[in-house]
Structure 1
Amino acid sequence: MITEDADGELRRLARDGKFRHREAARRGVRFRVGGDVADLVAIVDDPHPCAMTEVVFALAGATRTWLNWVPMPAETVCLAANQIAARRAQGDRVTVERFNVSAAEPPTAMLAARRVIGEVDLHVGAFPEPDIRVPLRRPARSVIWRYDGVRPVAAVAAPSEAAVAVLHEVGAETWPSMLSGYLRAAPLGALPLDDLLGLLAHLPAPPPTQRWKHLARSTPTYWYRLLQPWVCLGLLHHAADEPWASSTRRQVLVDLAFGVEDWVADAALFALVTMAFREPGQRREVRDLVRGRLDAAVDAGRVVTIEESLAHLMLITPGCTASDHAKARTVLARHGVRPPQRRKRWPFS
């Protein structure tokens, strides 16, 4: 049912008198045109949910950032690492001893570049205020990064080989939708917390599949961008018997979202947004968390490489208000991105 022509398939389902979830399909069409997250929420909240509502949700989110795919790395150090990898794949003998960046970039991005380039002296020119090394909220129980002067280092132990194997099994392919990704990440939730945090900070190599061998020739840093959302989806399954408000999974994800400025921050928020679609009672808190992290990025007054990603997350957060929508659109416009406009007249209305 998931096809390359998601728009055409949704319109077909919306007009099919025998399709039980025609209204969900209509809301999917509306989301594709106008980008109002309320239409996505209506699909999930269908009064007769079944596997087909998940298909409609996946069609509605096809090719959309975070709903269907994790944004590509935007950092200077990762773009350079990808270029170096591409040249090496073409047979060029490229060696790098020192690489300069004008200002600090997220620790995961720095480590991902080293994973691709090799051990290299990454020289950071400046740490403009607010300092990327300082968590947004303190104290925090779950911390995966610390800084040795200007160099980020893992603050947790490396994961076990068994944990890496589970990650490779779960993350070998991308997800059709964030909801199906949540289900597929369940085996990660059975891992010890130390292993989950270790996966986030130590960045195991990609699975030895054809897909990742192919991407290693062009965009090898993407695996390191993708693995953290997978692990954070797994965290939603960790100690699932604990009441959400006082649960380990909530505490860890919120700590990561408001820790040092890093890819893991938006990965943790992505997992919380996924949970909000599944659990209506948590939507208000999650909306507040996403808006708070987006506000911090905008108010920084300097380059925040995850700002665009946070804006995309805001637009798909259940409970996203008109103010949230406007702020996210302003951010995306500044980055040259034009998301769908809200419209007053809809197909099928």
Structure 2
Amino acid sequence: MKLAILQKKLRDEHIDCCFIFNTSLSKQDSNLNYFSGMTFAYGGLFITPSDAILLVPPMELLRARKSRIKKAVAVQDIFQALTPLLKGKKTAGLNMDFVSVAEHEKIRTSKTEVINIAALLSELRETKTESELDTIAKACKLTDTIFLELLRQLQEEKLHSPQEAYRFILKKIIDADAKPAFKPILASGKDAASPHAEISKTFARGFLVIDFGLQYKGYCSDMTRTVYIGKPSEKEKKFYDLVLQAQQKTIDFLEKTRDVSKINAFAKQQLGKYAKYFIHSLGHGLGIDVHEPPFFRTATIFKTNTVITIEPGIYIPHKLGIRIEDDVVLKKNAVVLTKSPKQLIVV
């Protein structure tokens, strides 16, 4: 269990305790969910090298006792409850990426030195256990199933607008006892030229970018397929094949290196003169959050048992957009988890 690994890290780095917490729905630290196995809009997890205690509102106490954390205490104010727990602690770790100035001041008033453990938490989450990988694989399988059902509906002309397709995806995700990992993207025609386009109002002739994912038992999938509405020209077919080959060759290239700078350079090389139309990151880490470390930064070296996306694309302003995205787990080989068809499909 990752909690035990975190506790060992605290011991090794001479950090007396750490506190992971949420105080509002608007800014949620998913590490609370990651270590406790539950989401709390308001609550905290106090961890020492030998113990862990959940601090939750009274109305959440019964639910908290079903979490991975054996000890749970009902409190009205997590910061007031924290004060006696910090007594005698020289150092306390906080994820400063999610701590406001006011919250930091509440904790800093004690005699305890605050240490930023954001990087430590990210490092722990980068590599997945076999259980985590199994859950992500199931999320990907559900995503494939929903995409094939969506494709069938499109081919049979049962969905008459991107909005209808959007509602279809959401219904199927809920039916699968899952949640949307993010708001699905259905960008048609010229709208597809924007990577994060709003849902198009109508189906237009041209490429239709379909980007969606789901959260299953706490873990996310994220997949993009691009289909064509109408009859593609030979030039459009070549554009699609360019992106498809770039994606497949980049996934194959993961067998040779895990150096992100080399992977990024290789992917752009495959796009040739159209690399200037590739305007977003090649991918991102995937897990409890749909976007999480590792990120495709120059100095990054991917580790074994990391799950990433590979999603090259080209976006020609006012004309078209094409993106193909798969979820990949890095074992000895690169294993693709999303298996929906990638040949150009005309609907």
Q: TM-score, normalised by structure 1?
A: 0.24
Relative to its length, the structure with more helix (as a share) is: 1
Larger Rg: 2
Q: Which has the higher contact order (CA 8 A, sep 6+)?
A: 1
Relative to its length, the structure with more strand (as a share) is: 2
